[in-house]
């Protein structure tokens, strides 16, 4: 009975969170997966007794065990990503700050992106000599590039415009890093170090991709996240990390 109630509660929360996020933020894979996960747990909770009866033996029994194992793996992966993203290793002597783009609403930065930019501003106050690279192209439901919206946010907060570099072509984290490295390789004559600034859920993959794209001295500083953004962001990010491990690192 306890397990059934927990499944129904989890299902209602995930479905409600995903549904509300689809109305107030850009519609993306994370939102879709959150709604799907909510429906999955809700149905499992509602039909808990029936499912238990049907999966007592045979192939359905092993199928259910497989699903449970996958859910446990997903939870462990999310826990790993979350833990990694909580610990910064900046020394405030880095040469450049890379602020990774995120979805914007029209020409306005979203809450997760504002958190990233605020973290960059916090860093900038301690190391005003570092260049700030805002990176991100124009996507669906966006009237300007993410980099332009990010630059505007920094300027309104008093950041010196001469310290901001825009990268406006990227449509993925890989491209964020690849195009930013091309810009910084031209800007700096010799070796240089960077700090990756993004939300906690995105730190691990952001750092790994930076290294894969050729950055050698990479540090990181995390930004927070509102509780209602957590499920969509972590669910989507866990799949992105799996893809990175299988496709980008192994193949």
CATH code, domain with 117: 3.40.50.620
d(CA 110, CA 146): 10
What's the rounded Cα separation, in Å, for the pair 113 and 103? Answer: 7
Domain count, the chain: 2
Examine the pLDDT at 22 and tell me if it is beyond 90: no
Residue 102 forms part of a structural domain: yes
Residue 247 CB: number of other CB atoms within 10 A?
9
The verdict on 27 and 57 lying in the same domain is yes
Q: Note whether residue 90 is domain-resident.
A: no
Compute the distance between CA of residue 97 and CA of residue 163 in angstroms, rounded to an integer.
10
What average pLDDT does range 60-79 have in this prediction?
A: 95
In a domain, 119, yes or no: yes
| 233 and 183 share one domain | yes
Compute the distance between CA of residue 151 and CA of residue 58 in angstroms, rounded to an integer: 59
Looking at the DSSP assignment, which residues form a beta bridge with residue 99? 134, 197
Mean pLDDT of 30-39: 95
Domain range enclosing 26: 2-84
Domain stop point among 61, 84, 107: 84
If asked whether residues 138 and 163 sit together in one domain, one would say yes
Residue with tokens 């993410």, as numbered in its chain:
146
Output the pTM of the full model: 0.91
Average pLDDT over residues 144-159: 96
CB atoms under 10 Å from CB of 184, counted, come to: 19
pLDDT of residue 27: 73
Instruction: Say if residue 188 is in the same domain as residue 239.
Output: yes
Residue 164 buriedness (CB in 10 A; 0-12 / 13-18 / 19+)? buried
């Amino acid at each position: 009975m306890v397990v059934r109630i927990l499944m129904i509660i989890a299902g209602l929360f995930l479905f409600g969170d995903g549904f509300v996020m689809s109305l107030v933020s850009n519609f993306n894979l994370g939102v879709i997966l959150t709604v799907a996960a909510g429906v999955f747990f809700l149905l499992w909770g509602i039909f808990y007794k029936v499912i238990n009866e049907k999966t007592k033996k045979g192939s359905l029994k092993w199928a259910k065990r497989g699903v449970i194992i996958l859910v446990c793996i997903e939870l462990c992966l999310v826990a790993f990503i979350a833990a990694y993203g909580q610990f910064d290793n900046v020394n405030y002597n880095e040469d450049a700050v890379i602020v990774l783009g995120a979805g914007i609403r029209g020409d306005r930065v979203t809450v997760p992106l504002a958190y990233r930019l605020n973290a960059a501003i916090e860093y900038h106050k301690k190391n005003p000599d570092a260049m700030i690279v805002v990176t991100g192209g124009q996507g669906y439901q966006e009237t300007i590039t993410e980099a332009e919206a990010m630059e505007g946010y920094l300027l309104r907060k008093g950041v010196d415009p001469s310290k901001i570099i825009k990268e406006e072509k990227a449509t993925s984290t890989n491209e964020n890093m690849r195009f930013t490295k091309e810009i910084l390789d031209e800007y700096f004559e010799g070796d240089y170090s960077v700090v990756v600034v993004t939300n906690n859920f995105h730190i691990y993959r952001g750092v790994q991709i930076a290294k894969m794209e050729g950055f050698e001295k990479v540090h990181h500083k995390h930004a927070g996240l509102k509780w209602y953004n957590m499920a969509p962001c972590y669910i989507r990010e866990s799949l992105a990390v799996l893809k990175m491990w299988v496709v980008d690192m192994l193949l």
